[in-house]
Structure 1
């Protein structure tokens, strides 16, 4: 099996985004309340629910594509779904990074960079 590292990265991204999506779906009100406070001094203060919904959709797309991509790598060494899963993961993380920087939460932004590095590695390896 030549794709073990790529499969592990896709599993990491799938777990990250599917779990995050699950949290947003089942704890929507708590997330919205916390984020309204987090973004209260930014231009996003009145856009939290639609922005969170948009982020949720991108997270679910990312997670599903990563799962399908890992399965595709195992079954026939195809890379298309995994590549797009990794790209969507990067887009999702950039969206989060933008929000954290806008809210001046530099520690939160730094944490997102930790996730961004393996996502970019996945894009590179699956390209």
Structure 2
């Protein structure tokens, strides 16, 4: 068990992004409606469904890579999938941070930083 912290961090990222992806898929209309209002005064106001679709795809990739990465670490101490999970997770979170800052939702942006820290730690540990 040399990789306990990495496995736990990957589990955290998997839960975060797979659950978020699940909500986007099964509550798509509610998410789009809320986000259209959230971004009404930004340049993204007409791009919400497309931006949400891009984020959904990246979140699912991040979550799946996190699961595969944790399994890889457990079975053969391989680091590739976990490393890419961290990279994709960071990209997702940076996209969300950009959106929150654009919408001037500074509390929401601050919350994203809490998720960004473990993602960067995964990248660092598995590099």
Residue 55 of structure 1 deviates from its aligned partner by 0.1
Residue 5 of structure 1 deviates from its aligned partner by 0.2
Aligned to 1:36: 36
Matches within 5 A, 1:6-85: 6-85=6-85
Aligned to 1:107: 107
Residue 72 of structure 1 deviates from its aligned partner by 0.1
Residue 124 of structure 1 deviates from its aligned partner by 0.2
Where in structure 2 are there 5+ consecutive unaligned residues? Answer: none
Residue 77 of structure 1 deviates from its aligned partner by 0.1
Aligned residues: 127
Distance 1:85 1:119 in 2: 8
Residue 11 of structure 1 deviates from its aligned partner by 0.1
Residue 3 of structure 1 deviates from its aligned partner by 0.2
Deviations along 1:55-95, one digit per CA (max 9) or x if unpaired, are 00000000000000000000000000000001000000000
Q: Which secondary structure does the structure 2 equivalent of 1:43 belong to?
A: coil
Residue 117 of structure 1 deviates from its aligned partner by 0.5
Distance 2:26 2:5 in 1: 32
Q: Which secondary structure does the structure 2 equivalent of 1:45 belong to?
A: coil
Aligned to 2:118: 118
- Provide the alpha-carbon RMSD of the alignment: 0.2
Distance 1:12 1:46 in 2: 32
Residue 18 of structure 1 deviates from its aligned partner by 0.2
Deviations along 1:13-64, one digit per CA (max 9) or x if unpaired, are 0000000000000000000000000000000000000000000000000000
Where in structure 1 are there 5+ consecutive unaligned residues? Answer: none
Q: TM-score, normalised by structure 1?
A: 1.00
